[in-house]
Amino acid sequence: MTSTTLSIQDLGQRIEAIFTRSGMNGPQAGAMARVLTAGERDHCKSHGIYRIEGTLRTVKAGKVNPVAVPVVTPDDGTALVRVDAQGGFANAAFELALPELAARAKKLGLAAMVINDCTHLAALWPEVEAVAAHGLAAMVMCPSYATVAPTGGKDPLLGTNPFAFGWPRPDSDPYVFDFATSVAARGEVELHRRAGKQLPEGWALDKDGHPTTDPEAALAGAMLPFGGHKGSAISTMIELLAGIMIGDLTSPEVLDYLGSTTLAPRHGELILAFSPEAFARGRAGDPFARAEMLFGAITGQGARLPSQRRFRARAESAAAGITLSADEIAQLERFQTLGLDAV
């Protein structure tokens, strides 16, 4: 069997059709298709079509509302833009509230989007990039499910809690990072297990709290935060700001709600947007030009900026399309034909 090359647009339409077939409404199917297509386009396979199955499984389990219509709370004069995802996917809520977030951040210098009652299974970088496209810096965070022990502890409590940041660059892709605050993403532990490979040291504890390199023992135990007590503190901050402060679930509460780490987590999300123009007003120097000097000093000494591999892949996909294996195409066809019966 041979591989197939699709344009970015064609792949997006196929994914959207699958989601529509599975009962998702226009905003939900469209938003989820856009982020999963972006993952595939950027050769970020773990956030590409691989996630269709988890999306459908979460719909089938009744843990997400496939026909949710998110609602943005009217402007109350604060810096907070609230969007109630109504139990749908975070991405549909984000897309709806983004223009208001951008307007509020430009007006006030700084604003926050709070997404409540959403299901989240996409990467954060599509959101960071979407904020940066408005000329704004972005900081985004959310809980996950309890799989990570706080440093010095032994039981899963924190999530892999992603932390992402973006800075707009006028003449190129934005400066973007997006990483788990655990040493590794849970999916990487799972990939080691499937491949029969040991984990690197420092990734995980077994269920008794002892360091382990056995992926089975790690999955039954707890993963560790990145960077020791510092990463553990940042992950705790994410539980506080993007769970508790916004009145949404923490990682242990998410796991209680789902009873499983195989479904997409249900929680909230916090997106901060900063206007560099407003912050720099009245000060010497153009912040965007100065940032380029910093980036030049990083790459000039041989260090890399984050996300560059993704941006190269994106350019390749735009020029040459996205190539999927025969197995992947067959799976897309199966999802299209069977809908939720495929999972």
- Residue 298 engages its own copies in binding (rule: CB under 8 A): yes
- Residue 165 engages its own copies in binding (rule: CB under 8 A): yes
Q: How far is the CB of 11 from its own copies (least distance, A)?
A: 29
Report the residue from 228, 308, 320, 337 that binds its own copies according to the rule CB under 8 A. 228
Report the residue from 30, 126, 150, 265 that binds its own copies according to the rule CB under 8 A. 150
Q: Decide whether 155 or 190 has the Cβ nearer to its own copies.
A: 155
Number of residues that bind its own copies (CB under 8 A): 72
Q: Decide whether 291 or 313 has the Cβ nearer to its own copies.
A: 291
How many angstroms separate the most distant Cα atoms in the chain?
A: 62
User: Interface residues for its own copies in 116-135 (CB under 8 A)?
Assistant: 116
Q: Decide whether 100 or 328 has the Cβ nearer to its own copies.
A: 100
User: Interface residues for its own copies in 260-279 (CB under 8 A)?
Assistant: 272, 274, 276, 278-279
Q: Give catalytic residue positions.
A: 46-47, 188
User: Interface residues for its own copies in 71-110 (CB under 8 A)?
Assistant: 77-80, 107-110
Q: How far is the CB of 93 from its own copies (least distance, A)?
A: 15
- Residue 112 engages its own copies in binding (rule: CB under 8 A): yes
User: Interface residues for its own copies in 237-256 (CB under 8 A)?
Assistant: 237, 239-241, 244-248, 250, 252
**Alpha carbon distance 263, 2 (integer Å):** 32
Report the residue from 171, 194, 196, 282 that binds its own copies according to the rule CB under 8 A. 282
- Residue 114 engages its own copies in binding (rule: CB under 8 A): yes
Angle at 74 between CA 71 and CA 79, to 5 degrees: 110
User: Interface residues for its own copies in 168-227 (CB under 8 A)?
Assistant: 175, 177, 179, 181, 226-227
